[in-house]
Amino acid sequence: MIEIKGLQKAFALSKGHKLSEAELSDVRYQDKQFRSVRDVSFHCAQGEVLGLLGPNGAGKTTTLRMLSTALKPDSGSVFINGIDVLKKPVQARKQIGFLSADTGLYDKLTAKENVAYFGRLHGMTEAALAQRIDELFTLLDMQTFANKRVDTMSTGMKQKTAIARAVVHSPKVVILDEPTTGLDIMTVQTVLDFITALKKAGTPVIFSTHHLDEVAALCDRVVVIDKGISSFNDSLEQFKLLGNGADLRQSFLAVLSAQKQGAV
């Protein structure tokens, strides 16, 4: 179970930064700060998949980085299975599998060596690690490049390796930042099948995406962030109703329109 309430995060503008005309009209620029996340709240229960949507620069990645303990919020609360992430970040981190937009893999190591290294950092025994690697490499269809060095891999191979590394320790919750961006159709399907397997296992999954077909196929809940605010936070069915049952793009645009008009 993941519970987020009133998250806020601001970043100081660089010295001498002169606001453009567009920035002057953006409510997030105030007091020499950029308020990337102004008020974000949502929850994700066991076995649920939550799709995090929003325009580029809306605050999605900042929100996910705060959930993963990579960033500390200025205010608000984050609880993962009852653990206060802000007060006990080390304990919470053991519960989390986080895939960032930057894979952060070691180029000179193979796929298997990268995953094994992070498994050992999590204190896994060699026997448990070997079994888990075999399981993940089968699920993610990685056996053919298990011993291939990262610096010779394709984008899809790297993304699969990064996902395996993120979940090697069997985390209680999984957070994925745009896991299918730039991947070919077959690799995308493998990643989506893996998310489905996590859902069936009862693992809560939060993933950000710009692909609404993925939301329709996988998600139980939808959160839309716009200009640092969670403008929609409800079930997929309620999200569909905003577009009168039409294409989910209409639902998404309806949320942004309402936000712009101050109705959401």
Structural domains of the chain sorted by starting position, each given as residue range(s) with its CATH number in brackets: 2-6+38-260 (3.40.50.300)
Mean pLDDT of 2-19: 92
Predicted TM-score of the model (pTM): 0.90
Q: What is the pLDDT of residues 84-140, one digit of tens each?
A: 999 999 999 899 999 987 768 999 999 999 999 999 999 999 999 999 999 999 999
Where residue 84 falls (left for φ over 0; alpha for ψ -120 to 50; beta otherwise) is beta
**Do residues 118 and 195 lie in contact, with contact meaning Cβ atoms separated by under 8 Å?**
no
User: What pLDDT is recorded for position 103?
Assistant: 67
Q: What are the pLDDT digits (tens) for 174-191?
A: 999 999 988 999 999 999
Question: Which pLDDT tens digit goes with each residue over 203-240?
Answer: 999 999 999 999 999 999 999 999 999 999 999 999 99
Examine the pLDDT at 1 and tell me if it is beyond 70.
Answer: yes
Q: Cβ distance 202 to 130 under 8 Å?
A: no
Residue 146 CA: distances (Å) to CA of 16, 114, 138, 152: 49, 10, 10, 12
- Which tokens is 214 given? 């993925």
CA 56 from chain centre, in angstroms, equals 14
Using the CB atoms, write b or e for 92-107: b if 16+ within 10 Å: bbebbbbbbeebebee
State in Å, rounded, how far the first CA of the chain is from the last one: 26
pLDDT at 263 over 60: no
The Cβ of residue 51 has, within 10 Å, a number of other Cβ atoms equal to 25
